[in-house]
Structure 1
Amino acid sequence: MEQKEKLVVKCRWWWLLALLLLTAALGGAQGGNVTYDGRSLIINGEHKILFSGSIHYPRSTPEMWPSLISKAKEGGIDVIQTYVFWNLHEPQQGQYDFSGRRDVVRFIKEIQARGLYVTLRIGPYIESEWTYGGLPVWLHDIPGIVFRSDNEPFKYQMQKFTTKIVNLMKSHNLYASQGGPIILSQIENEYANVEAAFHERGPSYVRWAAQTAVGLHTGVPWAMCKQDDAPGPVINACNGMECGNTFKGPNSPHKPSIWTENWTSFYQAFGNEPYLRSAENIAYNVALFIAKKGSYVNYYMYHGGTNFGRTAAAFMITAYYDEAPLDEYGLIRQPKWGHLRDLHAAIKSCSKTLLSATQTTLSLGRQQEAYVFRKSKTQCAAFLENRENKEVTVPFFRIPYKLPPKSISILPDCRRVAFNTAKVSAKHSTRTMNPVVHFKSAQQWELYKEAIPNFARTTPRANGLVDQISTAKDKSDYLWYTFRFRHSSSRSFLSAFSQGHVLHAFVNGVLAGSAHGTHNDVPFTMERNIKLRKGINHISFLSATVGLPDSGAFLERKVAGLRNVRVDGRDFTHHTWGYQVGLLGEKLQIYTVTGSRKVQWKRLGRLHPLTWYKTTFDAPPGNNPVALDLGSMGKGEVWVNGESIGRYWVSFVTAKGKPSQRWYHIPRSLLKPSGNLLILFEEETGNPRGISLDTVTWS
């Protein structure tokens, strides 16, 4: 090698070493191939503006993952963000499961194969409208535990699981420092929402969590969302819909401005209408965040998917963020997908200028501003913002620009408008549900009536009403409460108070009434006039949870189920009660081929509450997604070939008189060409003859 070339190489190495030392001195995280400074994440030495999309691996199927990731990439997404779901991976203490939809390693490798990065939000508390916030219910039974606080029993379990996940990622070389796609991790989740409730044990827990995460040496930065005082090298991030306005900014000049959750719609509970957020509004707020020197925006969700089985949190519908750019079925929702794709392209066309130039803000009017990034006479980019609800014309560098109401124009060269957030060029499309199989004939159905237990047939016993969460331990949504008493008159008044979520009362084996709470008002009281017989009477309550709570301080203290019972004013709360966790049909697993043979099915006749229904069907031809139209049903759960596709609650209508959710996704990978087993458990008196099997298309 020539002497001159050796000198150049030597200088380059000294320059790199000096840069690394300077970054460390300024407080930038050292993460191998990923670092950061006050402007952005730095990947392989290059500053990056990154667009990210949340896609959660258990809310879809492995067969769907490649298509979802590819469509995200086509939409201009650079990073896929996912939570890690503790209660899925460790359903029993010390017993781990990373199979099927739980295969987070396979999911990340699929992302890597398509050339995208990963943000891994380990939590391990995640909220996410996921039952118990992602925490396994067995934590509840650990003596002295207080979730998410400076509490040794909880910290031990949290550190153990977090270390398990980090080591799993390392074993597959998935961190960027190992050549993998993971560029950012998250510890905890929106802790500021509950921190004050824990007093001095809140801030100390935050410091411990940050120290624990950094001490795992992943080689990539860590973040905390909604945690303005994220300690040390951990990046504080914003969640919400308007982080360009609401984010206080990084808590250090050496940390970048990042947005971990830009809600593309909002979660939906049973009884509520869907939240519709326009593509224009999302684009406006993203453009504003970038204009104010933001460098990472994650769409929550980019694909919401499906809360299969009993994974949804309290009162959450099975469809999750269906209004995202990719709908529940993984199909492109226009114009949201296309408008954001165009936004990403416009910003990326001037990203080098945005990341290297000095930003200045110019007033263009009373509610109009220009955010200008100028590096030289030839290198300039600008965002022209109009906050008014009317169109205005503003001068910028002596050129007039028309700005639509509530919009931002992006000028990659400070002259030409490449994109305006209010002008949508992507076509609007409509989703169509196409019925292909009907189940109208009574001959297509068989039924099995769930037994209604009485006090004599239920064990264990207790002198008082037990908490449903700690008794059922998430093995079932259902808990039977039974008691018996002697009465002398025929007509009486029953009052029952419950803290979650649904209650069916049976008097001497006959349904006497039902009641339920709501997402915003969980406790409720059921009051009914009932008929009793002289002598011994049996009252049985079936209490049903619709997911477990997912948020709030002291989650381990939250309870559900029956709390107080009175008959004609007589208090039976501390009476002797019998209990039964779950249903007989669940115990026998009659939703499977093998289990369904264990009971005597009958022909469809009169409709009764607490009834199992069974039929078979052939898979529709083609590759279009498949959904069950359960518009004729009430409330329950549905299985296809032994796999639960979720809870339904069609009878809980919105203020407009429509179900919050009518169609329920059946992933194609669950289906066989013919002879698919369909089982429903119906709590009410829904009619299965109104069900149809539909395919899903957009046009």
Structure 2
Amino acid sequence: MSVTESASRNTPKRPLSVRVPRPAPAHPAPLDMGEGTDIRVMSRYIERSGRPWFPIMGEYHFSRDQPDHWETELRKIRSGGVNIVSTYILWILHEEQQGDVRWDGARDLRRFVETAQIVGLDVVIRIGPWAHGETRNGGFPDWLQALPIARRTNDPDYLALVRGWYAQIAAQVHGLFRDHQNPHGPIVGVQVENEIYDQPDHLGTLRDMAEAEGMRASLWTATGWGGAQLPERRVLPVYAGYADAFWEESHTGWPEFGRMHFTFSAVRDDLTVGADLRQVGVDGSVATESADPWPFATCELGGGMPVAYHRRPLVDPEDVAALAHVKLGSGSSWQGYYLFHGGTQVIGNTTTQESQATGYPNDLPVRDYDFFAPIGREGAQRPHFHALRRQHLMLEAFGEAIVAEPAVIPGDGDVRWSVRGDDRRAWLFVNNHQPALAALETIPGVQFHVEMAASTITMPAAPFTLSAGTFACWPIRQRLGGIDAVTATAQPITQIQTSQGMLVVLAATPGVPVEIQCDEGDVDMVSGATAERRDGGGITVTPITAPGPDCRVKIGTTTFVVLDDDTANGVWKGHVAGRERIVIWDGEGWFDETGFRVTEDPRPRTARVLPALAQGQATVIPVPGADVVRDLPAPVFDDVRTAPVRTGGSAGRFSAPADVDVARLPSTHVDIRDEWFDEAERLLLEITWTGDVMRVYAGDTLIADQFWSGRPLDVDLLPYRELIIRDGLHLRGFAWAPDSGIHVDPRVRPGAVEPVLEVHGAALRTVRSRQIC
């Protein structure tokens, strides 16, 4: 293939071509995993009950949320197409004082795991003992950090303490592991340690100790990034990929490593993740490809990115979805997100956040661990939650046909694309998205030729313009609905059986004509579309209606619903009224044991349900608007001050203002009335502001904080109702300094010549949910 290189990315001289060979058969991976279960690691995928299985894992820290929220938030995670929840067990939160180990309240690991099982999620526990997770001491209790022992090694004194900690964990989750005695147990995997690079014997010892204490997992994992040395056969390496990084320097624009995560590649490792905590230099390069005979698995695809004081990335929802898409096209067989649900740093005897004062190069907020995750710390479902759900529904419906096949990645040209398949069927992935700081350009004249054993597939029929920001996955001769071999320039989302036959939901690719190719023998009737015979046999079907809920193409007994890009992000799938159904809803929601619930919104809207709830009943459900938003007077800061400029930590980076600095600031009162809390599942205060640092207090209790990066600050006031009514709600903030050397995305960085601390708007949102079907 040849593509003319130029600043404007000219039209390719000829179609982009690739040949897809027949891959070697998959075989058992040379790993010693758990015995006696139906989960087995093969060379390219994880097998479950004898069939290829695509794990989709989302991280949610039980101890950084309230137990009363767990079930609803886990149901949201499951409704996002996630089938495994992973969670750190942060030692510092359970044993602040040596010998006083607590599992009560938000520390109740067993309750969390059992709740995950109730809602249909498997569980991976990340047992440390060192976890990181932007936690003080990496999760080590202060008393352990102070001992004269060699932590994170096989020092006998250290191992004796870890053995006791593991025994405590094992006791909490006894009987919950998936093993030969409990084939339906929720815990399917255990990760030992985190981000350790040069202690393979220690990792093996940790697994031995965990098993000796009764942890019998089907899967054992360890983080493999940074060129980690791992014990032979003992753990499955899991990898990471982020769109940006708070741990880079404040003078860094878009990090050099970023491009690899938006380019299809067989390289699994990113040497830069966690590099700021290692004692060796890293130049931003990536490791060379290895011939590992086990699947490409991830545990930390960036669901967003937190901010540090010195560097505040502004990751967009599209960045998260495109990165995950690229990993699929690069051969990922296990999509794991960190974080999938944000949280709040815990204040116990001390703060628990990562800070320069506790040995880190970075200062992070005291409370804020929202991470701009797909589900925010206060339960909001963000645009990337919906975009990822669309991917996950595809994997749920068609993942077996995707995960079993390797990726073939053309290595030249401006168009980033790959094909996963064999010489009979495949999936074509294309990506033309990169973050805004390094956005890609539109590419005209794109057309793909995929050479297979029996024929060469051309798609689409004529070259098209690949718009900047577009990413998509197209089926090539895949079985969709009742049709054996479908090739389409639209991305499958899901499918469902109806009384009229199979219904398949597709998402049109912006700017690309929708074409559905079928073998002629598969087609005995076409409606809602034009059909043309193709050279070489078969037909090409083109819808006569623009993509949207009413764009329906029937081919034989299979109906294709072709949605526009925005509507496609509103597709949900779950059980309603006794059977599995598709719900099209563009707001927040989740499935529970009664059906589909939505979060009330001021706008009246409609939901569509397929198939209909009853014979002859309309599929459209009206959902009236609700009065749930109350605008408040914007708080005014009369005394505008900038924070003291300091540097510190092991890398000499900008330091956040200390508590004593904040205590000198005057406070601004926000009037909150007691009756506003009534009938609220949450009462969210949202502040849209510009400045440097903002803290929110209920009386003297710090309940939320934020380093400004262009996003609003939100906090649920309901848990602090009594404090707020008794002692008031107050804000304290530092202004943005015009000459600040702190990195803030140029798209939102203030251009003012004077210090800025301004609240542009404040609102209270009463969160209530209701069942609509």
With normalisation by structure 1, the TM-score equals 0.62
Aligned residues: 510
1:200-259, Cα deviation, whole Å (9 max, x unpaired):
xx4443343344345555132111113543212301111122566441499774432111
> Which structure is larger by alpha-carbon Rg, 1 or 2?
1
The residue correspondences of 1:29-428 to structure 2 (distance < 5 A) are 29-30=34-35, 32-142=37-147, 144-172=148-176, 178=182, 179-192=184-197, 195=198, 202-213=199-210, 215-216=212-213, 217-227=215-225, 228-231=228-231, 232-241=233-242, 245=265, 246-248=267-269, 253-270=292-309, 272-279=311-318, 281-309=319-347, 310-314=351-355, 315-317=363-365, 318-334=367-383, 336-357=384-405, 360-361=408-409, 367-374=415-422, 376=424, 379-384=425-430, 389-391=441-443, 392-396=445-449, 397-401=456-460, 402=464, 403-405=466-468, 407-414=470-477, 415-419=487-491, 423=510, 424-425=565-566, 426=569
Match for residue 620 of structure 1? 677
Structure 1 residue matching 2:354: 3-state secondary structure: coil
d(CA) in 2 for partners of 1:237, 1:191: 12
Letter in 2 for 1:326: I
Unaligned runs of 5+ in 2: 1-26, 243-259, 270-287, 356-362, 434-439, 450-455, 478-486, 492-506, 511-564, 571-585, 589-600, 603-627, 637-642, 736-756, 769-773
Structure 1 residue matching 2:306: 3-state secondary structure: coil
The residue correspondences of 1:1-16 to structure 2 (distance < 5 A) are none
Of stretches 381-390 and 393-402 in structure 1, the one that deviates more from structure 2 is 381-390
Q: CA deviation at 1:276?
A: 1.7
8 Å contact from structure 1 (residues 516, 524) kept in 2: yes
Q: CA deviation at 1:411?
A: 2.3
8 Å contact from structure 2 (residues 632, 762) kept in 1: yes
Q: CA deviation at 1:264?
A: 2.1
8 Å contact from structure 1 (residues 258, 297) kept in 2: yes
8 Å contact from structure 1 (residues 250, 256) kept in 2: no
1:416-447, Cα deviation, whole Å (9 max, x unpaired):
13428975423898999955677989xxxxxx
Of stretches 403-412 and 149-158 in structure 1, the one that deviates more from structure 2 is 403-412
The 3 A distance-change label for structure 1 pair 226 and 359 is closer
Match for residue 638 of structure 1? 697
Letter in 1 for 2:217: G
1:314-357, Cα deviation, whole Å (9 max, x unpaired):
232233235221123111112x1221111222333332222445
Q: CA deviation at 1:297?
A: 0.9
d(CA) in 1 for partners of 2:654, 2:411: 52
The residue correspondences of 1:491-640 to structure 2 (distance < 5 A) are 516-517=646-647, 521=652, 617-618=673-674, 619-623=676-680, 625-628=682-685, 638-639=697-698
Match for residue 199 of structure 1? none
8 Å contact from structure 2 (residues 408, 420) kept in 1: yes
Q: CA deviation at 1:86?
A: 0.7
Q: CA deviation at 1:93?
A: 0.9
Letter in 1 for 2:299: T
With normalisation by structure 2, the TM-score equals 0.56
Letter in 1 for 2:682: P
Of stretches 354-363 and 321-330 in structure 1, the one that deviates more from structure 2 is 354-363
Letter in 2 for 1:409: A
Letter in 2 for 1:247: R
8 Å contact from structure 1 (residues 633, 682) kept in 2: no
Q: CA deviation at 1:260?
A: 0.6
The residue correspondences of 1:432-471 to structure 2 (distance < 5 A) are none
8 Å contact from structure 1 (residues 147, 154) kept in 2: yes
Q: CA deviation at 1:614?
A: 12
Match for residue 449 of structure 1? none
d(CA) in 2 for partners of 1:87, 1:97: 10
The 3 A distance-change label for structure 1 pair 612 and 164 is farther
Match for residue 533 of structure 2? none
The 3 A distance-change label for structure 1 pair 365 and 132 is closer
The 3 A distance-change label for structure 1 pair 136 and 678 is farther
Structure 1 residue matching 2:340: 3-state secondary structure: strand
Structure 2 residue matching 1:30: 3-state secondary structure: coil
8 Å contact from structure 2 (residues 432, 468) kept in 1: yes
8 Å contact from structure 1 (residues 237, 259) kept in 2: yes
Letter in 2 for 1:153: D
8 Å contact from structure 2 (residues 668, 732) kept in 1: yes
d(CA) in 1 for partners of 2:48, 2:373: 28
Unaligned runs of 5+ in 1: 1-21, 196-201, 442-512, 527-541, 547-606
d(CA) in 2 for partners of 1:210, 1:524: 38
The 3 A distance-change label for structure 1 pair 342 and 515 is closer
Q: CA deviation at 1:647?
A: 5.7
Q: CA deviation at 1:49?
A: 0.8
1:8-47, Cα deviation, whole Å (9 max, x unpaired):
xxxxxxxxxxxxxx95877555362332121222233332
8 Å contact from structure 1 (residues 284, 422) kept in 2: no
Structure 2 residue matching 1:350: 3-state secondary structure: helix
Letter in 2 for 1:393: V
The 3 A distance-change label for structure 1 pair 225 and 277 is farther
Q: CA deviation at 1:165?
A: 0.9
8 Å contact from structure 1 (residues 370, 385) kept in 2: no
1:481-513, Cα deviation, whole Å (9 max, x unpaired):
xxxxxxxxxxxxxxxxxxxxxxxxxxxxxxxx9
8 Å contact from structure 2 (residues 178, 188) kept in 1: no
The 3 A distance-change label for structure 1 pair 366 and 615 is closer
Q: Percent identity?
A: 17
The 3 A distance-change label for structure 1 pair 670 and 288 is same
Structure 2 residue matching 1:255: 3-state secondary structure: coil
d(CA) in 1 for partners of 2:413, 2:665: 65
Q: CA deviation at 1:636?
A: 6.4
Letter in 1 for 2:441: N
The 3 A distance-change label for structure 1 pair 250 and 321 is farther
The 3 A distance-change label for structure 1 pair 417 and 683 is closer
Q: CA deviation at 1:121?
A: 1.0
8 Å contact from structure 1 (residues 437, 694) kept in 2: yes
Structure 1 residue matching 2:297: 3-state secondary structure: strand
